[in-house]
Amino acid sequence: MTYDPTGHLLLTPIDREAPVRVKRLRRLGLGDRPDPAFDAFATRLAEVTGALYSMVNFIDENRQFFAGLHIPSDRHGGTDRRDPTAAAAAAAPGRVMARDHGYCPHVVVRRKALVLEDVRDYPRFAGNPVVDEIGIRSYLGAPLIDRTGIALGTICVVDTEPRPWGRPGLETIKSMAAEMVDQIHRREDGGI
pLDDT surpassing 60 at residue 180: yes
Using an 8 Å Cβ cutoff, are 115 and 158 in contact? no
Average pLDDT of the chain to the nearest whole number? 85
pLDDT of residue 122: 87
**What digits encode the pLDDT tens for the residues 63-107?**
999 999 999 986 533 334 444 333 333 444 589 998 888 899 999
Among 37-41, 127-131, 169-173, the range scoring the smallest mean pLDDT is 127-131
pLDDT of residue 124: 82
pLDDT of residue 123: 85
Model's pTM, two decimal places? 0.84
pLDDT surpassing 90 at residue 133: no
The mean per-residue pLDDT over the stretch 125-137 comes to 85
pLDDT of residue 132: 82
The mean per-residue pLDDT over the stretch 108-129 comes to 91
Query: Which domains can be identified in the chain, with CATH numbers?
Result: 2-188 (3.30.450.40)
**What digits encode the pLDDT tens for the residues 139-160?**
999 999 999 999 999 999 999 9
pLDDT of residue 93: 57
